[in-house]
Chains A and B, each alone.
Chain A
Amino acid sequence: MRDTVDKDAIVNKFMTAAGRLVNDEMQEWLNRGGRIIGTYCSYVPEEIIAAAGFMPFRMRAVGSDSTELSDVYLTHLNCSFVRHSLNMALKGEYGFLDGVVTTTCCDHARRLFDNFARKESFPFIGMLNVPKRNTEFQVEWFYQELLKFKQAIEKQFHLTISKDRIKEAISIQNESRRLQKQLFLLRTDKNPPITGTEALAASVSATAMPASKFNALLKVLLKELPTSGGRKNYRARLLILGGILDNPQYIKLIEDQGALVAADSLCFGSRLFWENVDENEEDPLKAIARYHIVDRPSCPHLLDAREKHIAFIMDLVDQFQIDGIIMERINFCDNWGFERFMLRNTLKEKGIPFLSMDREYLLGGTGQMKTRVQAFLETLEGDL
Chain B
Amino acid sequence: MIVAGCDIGSTAGKAVILKDNEILSCAIASCKPRPAETAEITMREAMAGAGVSSLNEFDWIIGTGYGRCKIDFANDNISEITCHGVGAKAVCHSVRTIIDIGGQDLKAIALGENGKILDFAMNDKCAAGTGKFIENMARSLELTLEELSIASDRAKNAATISNQCSVFAESEIITLLNEGIEIDNIAKGVHNAIAGRIMTLVSKVGAREEICIVGGCAKNEGLIKTIEDRLKVKLARFSIDPQIIGALGAATLAARMVLKKNIPGGS
Bound together, the chains give a CA A11 to CA B79 distance in angstroms of: 32
Please give, as numbers and ranges, the residues of chain B lying within 8 Å of A371 by CB-CB distance.
66, 79-81, 122
C-alpha spacing A378/B256, complex, angstroms: 15
Interface residues of B in 172-205 (CB under 8 A from A): none
CB pair A374 B66 closer than 8 Å: no
- 122-145 of chain B: CB within 8 A of chain A: 122, 124-125
B81–A375 touching, CB < 8 Å: yes
Query: What sequence of 0s and 1s flags, for each residue 366-384 of chain A, a beta carbon within 8 Å of any chain B beta carbon?
Result: 0110011011001100111
Cross-interface CB contact of A378 among B114, B117, B118, cutoff 8 Å: B117
Whose C-beta in chain B lies nearest to the C-beta of A358? B125
| Chain A residue contacts of B82, Cβ below 8 A | 375, 378-379, 384
**Does A365 reach chain B (CB closer than 8 Å)?**
yes
Inter-chain contacts of A365 with B (CB < 8 A): 124-125
Q: Is B105 an interface residue (CB 8 A)?
A: yes
Q: Known: A372-B122, A384-B256. Contact between A379 and B66, CB under 8 A?
A: no
Q: A383 vs B89: C-alpha distance in the bound complex, in angstroms?
A: 13
User: A358-B125, A368-B124, A384-B253 are contacts. A379–B117 as well, Cβ < 8 Å?
Assistant: yes
Q: Which of B70-97 contact A (CB under 8 A)?
A: 78-82, 86
- From A331, A358, A378, B81 is in contact (CB under 8 Å) with A378
Chain A residues with CB under 8 Å of B125's CB are 331, 358, 365, 368
Distance A25 CA – B67 CA, assembled complex (angstroms) = 42
Q: Which residue of B lies closest to A382 (CB)?
A: B116
Residue count of chain B within 8 Å CB distance of chain A = 19
- Within 326-375 of A, Cβ neighbours of B (below 8 Å) are at 331, 358, 365, 367-368, 371-372, 374-375
B60 near A: Cβ within 8 Å? no
- Residues of B contacting A383 with CB < 8 Å? 114, 116
Q: Which residues of B contact A374 (CB under 8 A)?
A: 78-79
> Whose C-beta in chain B lies nearest to the C-beta of A354?
B119
Q: A368-B122, A384-B86 are in contact. Are A379 and B78 (CB under 8 A)?
A: no
Chain B nearest CB from A73 CB (Å) reads 23
Give the residues in chain B near A368, CB-CB below 8 Å: 105, 122, 124-125
Contacts of A382 in B (CB 8 A): 116
**Nearest CB in chain A to that of B67: its residue:** A367
**Contact residues in A for B66 (Cβ distance below 8 Å):** 367, 371
Give the residue among A331, A367, A382 with the most B Cβ atoms within 10 A: A367
How far apart sit A372 and B119, CA to CA, in the bound complex (Å)? 11
Known: A358-B125, A368-B105, A371-B66. A378 touches B116 (CB 8 A): no
Residue of A nearest to B121 (CB): A356
User: Residues of B contacting A367 with CB < 8 Å?
Assistant: 66
Residues of B within 8 A of A379 (CB): 82, 116-118, 120
Chain A residues closer than 8 Å to B118, beta-carbon distance: 379
How many Å lie between the Cα of A372 and that of B125 in the bound state? 13
- A384 to B78, Cβ gap below 8 A? yes
Q: Which residue of B lies closest to A381 (CB)?
A: B82
| Alpha-carbon separation in the docked complex, A314 to B174 (Å) | 53
Q: Which one of B78, B81, B86 has the greatest number of beta carbons of chain A within 10 Å?
A: B81
> Could you tell me the distance in whole angstroms from the C-beta of B243 to the nearest C-beta in chain A?
18
**Complex contacts, B79 vs chain A, CB 8 Å:** 371, 374-375, 378
Q: How far is the CA of A364 from the CA of B125 in the complex (A)?
A: 10
Could you tell me if B124 and A375 are in contact, using CB atoms closer than 8 angstroms?
no
Closest to A355 in B: B120
- Least CB separation from B77: chain A residue: A374
Shortest beta-carbon distance from A358 to chain B in Å = 7
The 7 closest A-B pairs by CB, nearest first: A375-B81, A375-B79, A368-B124, A374-B79, A378-B82, A379-B117, A371-B79
Listed by A's residue number, 25 A-B pairs whose Cβ atoms lie within 8 Å are A358-B125, A368-B122, A368-B125, A371-B66, A371-B81, A372-B122, A374-B78, A374-B79, A375-B79, A375-B81, A375-B117, A375-B120, A378-B78, A378-B81, A379-B82, A379-B116, A379-B117, A379-B118, A379-B120, A382-B116, A383-B114, A383-B116, A384-B78, A384-B82, A384-B86
Taking A331-B125, A379-B120, A384-B78 as given, write out 9 further A-B residue pairs in contact, using a Cβ cutoff of 8 Å, ordered by the A residue number.
A368-B122, A368-B125, A371-B79, A372-B122, A375-B81, A375-B117, A375-B120, A379-B117, A384-B257
Q: Which B positions have Cβ atoms within 8 angstroms of A?
A: 66, 78-82, 86, 105, 114, 116-118, 120, 122, 124-125, 253, 256-257
